[in-house]
Amino acid sequence: MTAPTRDHILDAAARVFAEHGFRGSTTRRIADAADVNEVTLFRLFGSKDALLGEAIRTRVYERDILQLPDTPGDARAELTIWAAAEYAHLLTHRRSIRQGMSELVERPELCRCMAQGPRGGYTRLRQYLSRLVEMGRASKDASPLNAAAMLLGALFADAMGRDMIPDALPPARQIPAVYVNLTLNAIGYAATPAPARRKPAGTRAKRGA
């Protein structure tokens, strides 16, 4: 057997979880996948729950999220690059994510670690869309909160459902641009700020205005 490391075992545990879920991810299966003995698992992690909890959190949900610019430039291009990274992550880990969702009723404690990655992405996306509104490059009535939820929800639903209902979804080569375009259209995005409306000539501002 190879010399065990925490990272090596966590990688193995995440793979086993993606295939078998929490109940089926026995310490024997994880030990075999990591090429270590079960005693090593308990020595390093204490329990199966602790091992799988750390594996799910660090290998699936915690991640470096691609940053969006503080000041939007070409929003269509910037958001497409950002959404592509989010979508790729969802596709890579869709089996683990499905397993995690199926475990929530029995193991509600998983909800906290499952929400970390999506919450971070949602916060950054909402801030970016809010900046577009502040800059006059989206409708002043646009809701960044709802628009961010719409884009992330579309990416999530596509990634989770593409292998089940591919005919009901846009062609894969168009993802994520199609969802970015729908989101920007929904908030009234303009590549440049709308020109300020001038007051008609000869009018005067009211006193006290």
pLDDT of residue 205: 46
**What are the pLDDT digits (tens) for 151-209?**
999 999 999 999 888 888 999 899 999 999 999 999 999 988 756 555 555 545 444 44
Amino acid, res. 100:
G
In contact, 34 and 26? CB cutoff 8 Å:
no
Q: Would you say how long the chain is, in residues? A: 209
Q: Would you place residue 1 in the very low, low, confident or very high pLDDT band (cuts 50, 70, 90)?
A: very low
DSSP letter assigned to residue 189: -
Interatomic CA distance for residues 87 and 159, integer angstroms: 7
Whether 40 has a pLDDT exceeding 60, the answer reads yes
Q: Would you place residue 35 in the very low, low, confident or very high pLDDT band (cuts 50, 70, 90)?
A: very high
Angle at 56 between CA 50 and CA 61, to 5 degrees: 135
Which value, in Å, is the radius of gyration of the alpha carbons in the chain?
23
Interatomic CA distance for residues 134 and 128, integer angstroms: 10
In contact, 53 and 21? CB cutoff 8 Å:
no
**What are the pLDDT digits (tens) for 91-106?**
998 988 888 888 877 7
Q: What is the pTM of this model?
A: 0.78
CATH homologous superfamily of 6-61 equals Homeodomain-like (1.10.10.60)
In contact, 103 and 21? CB cutoff 8 Å:
yes
**What are the pLDDT digits (tens) for 56-80?**
888 887 767 788 999 999 999 999 9
